[in-house]
Chain A
Amino acid sequence: MANLLNEEVSKQIKEALSPMQNEITMVLFTKESGCNTCEETEQLLTEVKALNDKISVEVKDIDKDKEDVEKYHITDVPTFVILDDNKKYKGVKFQGIPAGHEINSFLSAMVFMSGLDLGLDQKIVERLSKITKPIDIKVFVTLSCPHCPGAVATAHSLAMLNENIEASMIEAQTFQQLSVKHNVSGVPKIIINDEFELVGNHPIDAFLTELEKI
C-alpha cells in the first residue's frame, strides 16, 4: 500500500509531536478478516510512530488477545488505546481511523498522554477530582466534521485527569451499528454512560457540568 502520509503531512505531524515529553504506547486491536479499515489504521499508527522515537505501537487481535481485550474494554475493531510511559491505561481510546479532521484529536491525545501539561485551570482540575462514579464518554464523529476534534480532545482530557473516566472517539461510519443504536445523525454527538447526550463542541467546564449531574 502506498504511504498514507506524504512528505508535507509527515513534516506537519512531526512538528506537532515535538512537544512530547515521555514515551507512549499505542495498542491497536484488529482482526484477521472482516475489518475494512484495520489495515489502514495500522498503517497510520506505524507511519506516525516512525516520526517520533517516543512512540511504540503494539498490535493485538480482538479474537486472540482476550486478556487485553478485557483490560481495555475493547468491543470492536479497529480500536486503539494510548498508554502513558508506565504503560498505564488512562481511558483514552479511538474507535476507527483518526484521519480527516480527527488527525488533530489524535495528535493532541499523543502529546498530552506523553505528559505535556494540559494547561487547565486549577478550579476545573479540582471539580474533576471530585467525580467518583465510573463514566463512559462516547464521542461520535465524522472525519469531515471540523467541530469534532475539539469535543474528542476535551473528552480525552477529562479521562486523562480522572481514572474513573473513559473517553472514546467513535468514527460514525465505521461503527455504523453503534451509531444507529445511539441515533447518531448529527455530530459531534456525545453519549455519557449510554444514557445522557450532548451535541456540539462545548468548553470543558460545560462538559464537566454534565458529568457532575450523573
Chain B
Amino acid sequence: MFNFSIDKKTQSSEFDQIKKWDFLVVGGGPAGLNAALYAKRKGLKVGIIVNEIGGQLNNTTWVDNYIGFSMIEGEELSNKFLDHVKQLEVPILKGVYVQGIEQVKQDFNVSVSNGKEYTTKTLLLATGGEPRKLGVTGEKEFTNKGVTYCATCDAPFFKDKHVIVAGGGNSAVEGVIDLVPWASKITLVHRSQFRADKILLDKLNDIDKLDIHLETQIISVVGNEQMTGIQALDKHTNEKKLIKADGLLIEIGTEANSKLIKDIVETNEREEIKVDLNQMTSVPGLFAAGDVTEQPFKQIIISAAEGAKAALAVNQYLIQIYKGE
C-alpha cells in the first residue's frame, strides 16, 4: 500500500563546496548510479546531477531479468541502487535539469537549472531515453487525453475501458499485464511480429480480454475532446480499419536523451551517442553509458554495467591522459 522513495535533496551549497570535480555524472538511472558507485570506490571526487532518481526504472512495474532479484518492482530496485550509492556518501544534486555542457580546454562546465555552474575533469552522460513516439497524426493532440506512455502512472484512468497497447517488445507485453487489473478490454497492435521474451509472451495466453493484431500498423489516433480510437492498416489484407478505444498506451522503445551533447560528439542516425570500448565518446574525457548510447539492447543490467565500465575508464583516463590541473 505504500511505496517509499524518501530522499532528502542535496543542498546545492554542499555541491558548491567542490571547486573542480574529478567526475560528474548526469543522470540517476542504473548507468549513472553504478558509475558513481565504481568511481567513488576508486576514490574519485564524484557527484550526480539528476532531476528524478531511477530514470526509466520508475516506469517499470516488475523487473524479472536483473540477476539476483526475481520479480522486484522497478522502483524498489532503484531504491536499492540508491541506498548502495548513498552508503558511500556520493553527493547527489536532485530536482534540477542540466541545461548545457561546454568543453573548456580539457575540462567541462556544466550549467544547471538552479543557476549554478560546475566544473569537472570528466563527465558521464547517462541521461537514458524517453518513450519513442509513433509519429502519427493525432498522437500529440491526444497525449494525456487517452494517449499515454506510462502504464504504471495512468492505468487507473482506464478502469473498465478499452485500451490499445502499441508495440511488440517486452515493455509492450508488460504494459498489457499492467493494464489487466483495470481495463475491460485490451488490444495489442504491432506493426510486425513479437520480439518480447517467450517467458513474458506465455503470460499473455491467460488473458481472456486481450486481442492481438500483429502485422498491423497504426496510421492515426482519432477522437474529439478525448481519443476515441485508432486507424490502422492490416498489412496482410492491406485494408484500413478503425479500432474504437478509450486509451492508447505506446510502448515502442526509447529515444536517446542525447540533446545535451549531440552537437559536440558523434552520434548515429537515431541521435544515439557513439562510444568506444571504454564508453568514451568522440570527445576525450566525455563518456556516455546506458540507453543514451547506440548500444542496441536497452536493459537495466547492461546500462548498469556500462556505467561501471565508464567509471573505471574515467579513472584510467585521469591517471594516464588528463593533463589539466
Interface residues, chain A, with chain B CB atoms under 8 Å away: 4-5, 9, 12, 16, 19, 99-101, 103-104, 107-108, 117, 119, 121, 123-124, 142-150, 154, 172-173, 183-189, 199, 201-206
Min CB distance, A74 to chain B, in Å? 24
Asked if B143 is an interface residue, CB under 8 A from chain A, the answer is: yes
What residues on B are CB-neighbors of A121 within 8 Å?
Answer: 12, 114-116
Binds A, one of B51-59, B81-89, B198-206, B268-276: B51-59
What residues on A are CB-neighbors of B247 within 8 Å?
Answer: 185
Contact B2 A103 (CB under 8 A): yes
Bits for B175-191, please: 1 = Cβ < 8 Å to A, else 0.
00000000000000000
Contact A101 B6 (CB under 8 A): no
Contact A172 B97 (CB under 8 A): no
Min CB distance, B254 to chain A, in Å? 16
Label chain B's interface by main secondary structure.
loop
Q: CB within 8 Å of A: which of B94-111? A: 95-97
- Indicate the size class of the contact surface on chain B: 35 or more
Asked if B152 is an interface residue, CB under 8 A from chain A, the answer is: yes
Contact B97 A147 (CB under 8 A): no
Contact B97 A186 (CB under 8 A): no
Q: With A and B bound together, what is the CA distance between A123 and B113 in angstroms?
A: 11
Contact B152 A144 (CB under 8 A): yes
Residue among B2, B9, B226 with the highest chain A CB neighbour number at 10 A:
B2
Q: With A and B bound together, what is the CA distance between A97 and B145 in angstroms?
A: 25
Q: With A and B bound together, what is the CA distance between A172 and B156 in angstroms?
A: 9
What residues on B are CB-neighbors of A146 within 8 Å?
Answer: 3, 5, 54, 58-59, 74-75, 152-153
Min CB distance, A37 to chain B, in Å? 13
Q: With A and B bound together, what is the CA distance between A184 and B145 in angstroms?
A: 7
Question: Known interface pairs A119-B9, A124-B114, A204-B95. Does A101 touch B154 (Cβ–Cβ under 8 Å)?
Answer: no
- How many CB-defined contacts (below 8 Å) exist between A and B? 120
Q: A146-B3, A184-B144, A186-B153 are in contact. List 16 more A-B contacts (CB 8 A).
A: A9-B2, A16-B6, A19-B8, A100-B3, A103-B2, A123-B115, A124-B115, A142-B153, A144-B152, A145-B154, A146-B152, A148-B153, A149-B5, A184-B157, A186-B143, A187-B153
Q: With A and B bound together, what is the CA distance between A124 and B3 in angstroms?
A: 30
The answer, among A145, A150, A183, for a CB contact under 8 Å with B153, is: A145
Label chain A's interface by main secondary structure.
loop
Contact B146 A203 (CB under 8 A): no
Min CB distance, A29 to chain B, in Å? 22
What residues on A are CB-neighbors of B1 within 8 Å?
Answer: 4, 9, 99-100
What residues on B are CB-neighbors of A204 within 8 Å?
Answer: 95
The answer, among A9, A101, A203, for a CB contact under 8 Å with B96, is: A203
Q: With A and B bound together, what is the CA distance between A199 and B126 in angstroms?
A: 23
Q: CB within 8 Å of A: which of B125-169? A: 143-146, 148, 150, 152-157, 159
The answer, among A144, A150, A189, A203, for a CB contact under 8 Å with B156, is: A144
Across the interface, name the chain A residue whose C-beta is closest to B155: A144
Across the interface, name the chain A residue whose C-beta is closest to B97: A203
Across the interface, name the chain A residue whose C-beta is closest to B10: A119
